[in-house]
Amino acid sequence: MNQETELIQPPAQVASKAVKGEAIIKVIDMHKWYEQFHVLRGLNLEVSKGERIVICGPSGSGKSTFIRCINRLEEHQRGQIIVDGIELTDDLRNIDTIRREVGMVFQHFNLFPHLTVLENCCLAPIWVRKTPRKEAEQIAMKYLERVKIPDQAKKYPGQLSGGQQQRVAIARSLCMNPKIMLFDEPTSALDPEMIKEVLDVMIELAESGMTMLCVTHEMGFAKTVADRVIFMDQGEIVEQGIPKEFFGNPREARTRQFLQQILNH
């Protein structure tokens, strides 16, 4: 992929804004089962405020399930997940509070097709945060400018390209002013020529100091912005490290094999 090399070339690693010691996400020995299937097997992770983490691993290794547990789209059965000081339990109020603080961007955008771009962005601030409509629209326009599509505000998602839709999805999440952003393979449903415009927006977001957890196979992106790269396989975190070590000198055989496949691809 072209833009990968493009992104790798400038050695300018986006400066880390991670605040060491201040964990905003804590995952402690977390397990999850789908019926009989043990999909996540004892995950441990601490994410500092402002840290950018890239999660990679083979298909079916549980990456999506993992980050979906963090905003409780999936329920874990053992261990603890603590987000912004609140533990995720069955308590519905906790779940609501956390979902307000955690934005999520999906592989297939999941924009609301019956609403315009602007309405997509304003909906949650108005109904969840009770922001007055005028103000919500101003905020939405601000973020649509940031993802560089303010001129599409009155269009419907079905009238936009994939790359534009994904940028709207990012803006929609940002409108809730979240503390953490989760990305689940945000570029893997996009045509190659649109991947860069979405990655650019994500890089900019990383520069702004947002805490990000990003499942992606865009290794160029990982090298540019990640503070830490995590490799998952079969429901476990196999290896993690700063990009330089992770890519330059992977310790585990499984990681090496995976990276080889990805890079030869």
Partner 1 sequence: MSDGKVNPVLPPPSLSVGVIGWIKKNLFPSWFSGVLTVVLGYFIISSLIPFIDWAILKADFIGESPADCTSEGACWVFIGTRLDFFIYGFYPESEHWRVNVIYLIFGLIIVPQFFSAVSARIKMILGVFGVTVFPALSFVMIYGSETFGLPIVGTSVWGGLTLTLILAYVGIVAAIPIGILLALGRRSDMPLVRALCVVFIEFWRGVPLITILFMASVMLPLFLPDGVTFDRLLRALIGITLFQSAYMAEVIRGGLQAIPKGQYEAAEALGLGYWQGMGLIILPQALKIVIPGIVNTLISLFKDTTLVLVIGLFDLLRAVQATIIDPAWRNVATEGYIFAAFVFWVFCYSMSRYSQMLERKLHTGHKR
Ligand X SMILES: Nc1ncnc2c1ncn2[C@@H]1O[C@H](COP(=O)(O)OP(=O)(O)O)[C@@H](O)[C@H]1O
Nearest by Cα to 199 from 172, 159, 166, 177: 166
13 vs 107 by CB, closer to partner 1: 107
Smallest gap, in angstroms, from Cβ of residue 235 to ligand X? 7
Neighbours of 262 (CB within 10 A): 13
194 vs 222 by CB, closer to partner 1: 194
Neighbours of 252 (CB within 10 A): 12
55 vs 144 by CB, closer to ligand X: 55
b/e sequence 183-221, b meaning 16+ C-beta within 10 Å:
bbbbbeebeeebbbbbbbbbbbbbeebbbbbbbbbbbbb
Smallest gap, in angstroms, from Cβ of residue 184 to Mg ion? 6
Residues 45-74, one symbol each (x = binds Mg ion by CB under 5 A, - = not), give -------------------x----------
Contacts of 56 (CB under 8 A, 6+ apart): 63, 215, 216, 217, 219, 222, 229, 230, 231, 232, 258, 262
**Cα separation of 33 and 132, whole Å?**
41
Smallest gap, in angstroms, from Cβ of residue 220 to partner 1? 27
Sign of CA dihedral 50, 109, 102, 231: negative
**Cα separation of 77 and 89, whole Å?**
10
59 binds, among Mg ion, ligand X, partner 1, none (CB under 5 to 8 A by kind): ligand X
73 binds, among partner 1, ligand X, Mg ion, none (CB under 5 to 8 A by kind): partner 1
65 binds, among ligand X, partner 1, Mg ion, none (CB under 5 to 8 A by kind): ligand X
Residues that bind ligand X (CB under 6 A): 34, 37, 39, 57, 59-65
108 vs 129 by CB, closer to Mg ion: 108
Smallest gap, in angstroms, from Cβ of residue 102 to Mg ion? 17
Contacts of 108 (CB under 8 A, 6+ apart): 189
Residues that bind partner 1 (CB under 8 A): 71, 73, 96, 99-100, 102-104, 106, 108, 110-114, 123-124, 127-128, 155-159, 172-173, 176
2 vs 110 by CB, closer to partner 1: 110
